[in-house]
Amino acid sequence: MFGLYKLGKQRNISAYIYMRINKYLAEKGYSTRRGADALIQAGQVNINGRLAVLGDQVTEADKVEVATSALSSLSSKFVYYAYNKPVGVVTHSPQKGETDIVQATKLAGVFPLGRLDKESHGLILLTNDGRVTERLLSPSSEHEKEYVVKVDKPLRQNTLTRLTKGIKLEDGYITKPAEVEGLGAHALKIIITEGKRHQIRRMLAALGYVVTDLKRARIMNIELGELKVSEWRELSVGEKKELLGELGL
């Protein structure tokens, strides 16, 4: 029996650019390239309904399937961490003088799931499981992310109401409705299901506010909780089971 895993757009692979199948499987976190060759030789990889052979190439348009029995053995090698990112650490490739998450945590072989801008802090997930990226971050996935936000001036009730209905950003995009709760004159909790670049800052800027502090407190079922700034922890068995279940893995 085979499980379907399609090449994701998050790696910026054009539908017309080819990638060797062993490199694809390695980048998705299934195995090393040598391990991928072994899976192919064992008849455990399909491309568009046919058995893959060594040297095959794929594009974003291809349907790549890996035998579920192989995936079961590989899944034990995946790791998942919650990290409380401090202000100043970046989640993109670091420029001169910047520190990224891998440097900050010293966790080898993992990457952040999505981004949290340099001026923001709070929860970000780290893993070596490439299957998770597209399923968590796809615009159509609508997985909840919760933030606590502070702004530069008192919030009006009308502001909170408008946020729940969607905001037209400066580029014309209208955000999806959000769940919002006031936390005092200058603070609010907001839950969104999409992840446009600097989205919350831009939403509030469109209403005349400047964000002075932004903390991500939850991603789906994973909560920041009492995790201290700059600390990380491995997800519990229950957290992993629920997270992967909601992602269809």
Closest by Cα among 66, 81, 29 to 240 = 81
The catalytic position among 62, 100, 117, 213 is 117
CB 224 within 8 A of CB 128: no
Beta bridge partners of 165: none
Strands 19-20 and 57-58 come out as: antiparallel
Q: Alpha-carbon distance 29 to 104, whole Å?
A: 22
Reading phi first (left if > 0) and then psi (alpha if -120 to 50, else beta), residue 27 is in alpha
Q: Alpha-carbon distance 59 to 9, whole Å?
A: 10
Amino acid at 193: T
CB 226 within 8 A of CB 234: no
Instruction: Examine the residue annotation and report whether 37 is marked as an active-site residue of this protein.
Output: no
Active site residue ranges: 117
